[in-house]
Amino acid sequence: MSFGLDSRMLRSAAAIAVFAAIGMPVLAEEISVVSGATGSDLQDFPAIVKPWEDKTGNKVTVVPMPSSTSDQFGQYRLWLAAGATDIDLYQTDVIWAPQLADHFVDLTEAAKDLIPANFPSIIQSQTVNGKLVALPIFTDAPALYYRKDLLEKYGVEVPKTWDELTAAATKIQEGERAAGSGDFWGYVFQGNAYEGLTCNALEWVKSFGGGQIVEADGTISVNNPKAVKALETAAGWVGTISPEGLHAYQEEEARGVWQTGNAAFMRNWPYAYALGDGADSAVKGKFAVTTLPVGAEGDSSAATLGGWNIAVSKYSQHQEAAISLAVYLAGPEAQKMRAIMETHLPTIQALYDDPEIAEKSPIIPQWKSVFMNAVPRPSAPTLGKYNEVSSKFWSAVHETLSGNGSAADNLAGLEADLTDLKGDAW
């Protein structure tokens, strides 16, 4: 199989060399990249790939996906299982490497100059049995966004614990509503039943000292009193400081409420910083970011480690060009553009010292230590079963937020389900 592809690649490389040598125009290749649609990612994509298109003469087309990473994963799995040849590159979430590794080409050799420039743990997260299955294009760790103007107006401090957040959100919401803003909410986050809820709930559980769902050694730890307390706290927000409709909120719905000036606090990833500071934003110049709250004094704040990568399909018929594009997208030029245009956190270490990035996107140097201490989801210990682990977890959390069963009962049920799923070993 791979012999067929390799020989085709060699033939096309040889043909290009001959055409180039005799001064004939080399046929441009059309490369397709599939990518999710959060924030301004899709609008910015043409500008980001333009330098590569200009240099190579190739053309890049984006195949847009829904913004939910869970929906993307389902679609990618179908295409890859079918060996689809019309997608050359896949933009992949940090958690997927172990599950999709077999469908992607090993980028170790192509990226050998780039690898040492990256944070080793990020490269590690995309390495499965020695194969580098995707190259990091940005990393992610969420922030607590807050309205500086409103905290000042109501005389409240930046909250350090979840209880302080609840109290501050309640006070500001009551005040703003009394002043006539009927749609104003205290706190918005991601409560839909999808991967984003796994991220939020992992942060609640971990910041209450309740572990990481499944620990690095594979132990199922999620059913414990601290995790119960964490979920009970979050369930108390829905319908009080957070809208009822929050059950259906993903990142973009939360940002919509926040950016129109209708929330005091928001949990979201750094991409919302650039957009919140945009010319059309009602909160421009009025907000700041801090780390997510803790359960109680002495606990540590927890930010779930996110991030996106670029992988080359084994079934691509333009592998050479696709690999070149992947290396470009993961390289310093493209990462710097994303950092400035989209406040996406670079994975290349030197960019944290780049003065232009620091000036235009101050959250980036500020967030270096947050992402370096971020909590990984248990995709490495649960291997090919991570998606099921996560969907069982977010379902139990979603039920709890919806008032279907207590946190204690739902976590006990989850533990039993995960134990079955694990069997003898992950």
Task: Decide the pairing of beta strands 30-35 and 59-64.
Answer: parallel
Minimum distance of ligand GLC from residue 195's CB (angstroms): 4
Minimum distance of ligand GLC from residue 308's CB (angstroms): 6
Q: Which of 186, 261, 270, 306 binds ligand GLC (CB under 6 A)?
A: 306
Q: Is there a contact between 269 and 189 (Cβ–Cβ < 8 Å)?
A: no
Instruction: Name which of 295 and 306 has its Cβ closer to ligand GLC.
Output: 306
- Residue 269 as a binder of ligand GLC (CB under 6 A): the answer is yes
Looking at 163-171, 239-247, 300-308, 321-329, which segment touches ligand GLC (CB under 6 A)? Answer: 300-308
Write out the binding residues for ligand GLC, residues 61-90 only, by CB under 6 A.
69
- Residue 150 as a binder of ligand GLC (CB under 6 A): the answer is no
Crossing angle (nearest 10°) for helices 195-207 and 69-81: 130
- Which residue is listed with tokens 């290749």? 29
Looking at 52-60, 285-293, 301-309, 312-320, which segment touches ligand GLC (CB under 6 A)? Answer: 301-309
What is the total residue count of the chain? 426
Minimum distance of ligand GLC from residue 269's CB (angstroms): 5
**Residues 389, 195: Cα–Cα separation, whole Å:** 11
Write out the binding residues for ligand GLC, residues 207-266 only, by CB under 6 A.
251
Looking at 148-156, 175-183, 194-202, 408-416, which segment touches ligand GLC (CB under 6 A)? Answer: 194-202
- Which class for 5: exposed (0-12), middle (13-18), buried (19 or more C-beta within 10 A)? middle
Instruction: Name which of 122 and 322 has its Cβ closer to ligand GLC.
Output: 122
Q: Which residues fall within 8 angstroms of residue 63, CB to CB, at 6 or more apart? A: 32, 33, 34, 35, 87
- Residue 195 as a binder of ligand GLC (CB under 6 A): the answer is yes
Looking at 14-22, 223-231, 304-312, 334-342, which segment touches ligand GLC (CB under 6 A)? Answer: 304-312
- Residue 134 as a binder of ligand GLC (CB under 6 A): the answer is no
**Cβ-closest position to ligand GLC:** 306
**CA-to-CA separations, 301 to 49, 141, 143, 201, 348, in angstroms, rounded:** 36, 12, 11, 13, 24
- Residue 140 as a binder of ligand GLC (CB under 6 A): the answer is yes
Q: Is there a contact between 83 and 315 (Cβ–Cβ < 8 Å)?
A: yes
Instruction: Name which of 308 and 328 has its Cβ closer to ligand GLC.
Output: 308
Instruction: Name which of 268 and 324 has its Cβ closer to ligand GLC.
Output: 268
Residues near ligand GLC (CB under 6 A), total: 12
Instruction: Name which of 196 and 295 has its Cβ closer to ligand GLC.
Output: 196
Minimum distance of ligand GLC from residue 202's CB (angstroms): 11
Instruction: Name which of 161 and 304 has its Cβ closer to ligand GLC.
Output: 304
Minimum distance of ligand GLC from residue 377's CB (angstroms): 8
Q: Which of 31, 94, 220, 257 binds ligand GLC (CB under 6 A)?
A: 94
Instruction: Name which of 65 and 228 has its Cβ closer to ligand GLC.
Output: 65
Minimum distance of ligand GLC from residue 142's CB (angstroms): 8
- Residue 136 as a binder of ligand GLC (CB under 6 A): the answer is no
Instruction: Name which of 250 and 316 has its Cβ closer to ligand GLC.
Output: 250
Q: Is there a contact between 251 and 190 (Cβ–Cβ < 8 Å)?
A: yes
- Residue 93 as a binder of ligand GLC (CB under 6 A): the answer is yes
Minimum distance of ligand GLC from residue 380's CB (angstroms): 14
From 112, 111, 76, select the one nearest 91 (Cα to Cα).
76
- Residue 275 as a binder of ligand GLC (CB under 6 A): the answer is no
Instruction: Name which of 67 and 281 has its Cβ closer to ligand GLC.
Output: 67
Extract the tokens encoding 278: 């945009």
Crossing angle (nearest 10°) for helices 2-21 and 319-330: 80
Minimum distance of ligand GLC from residue 390's CB (angstroms): 9
Residues in the site for ligand GLC, rule: CB under 6 A?
69, 93-94, 140, 195-196, 199, 251, 269, 306-308
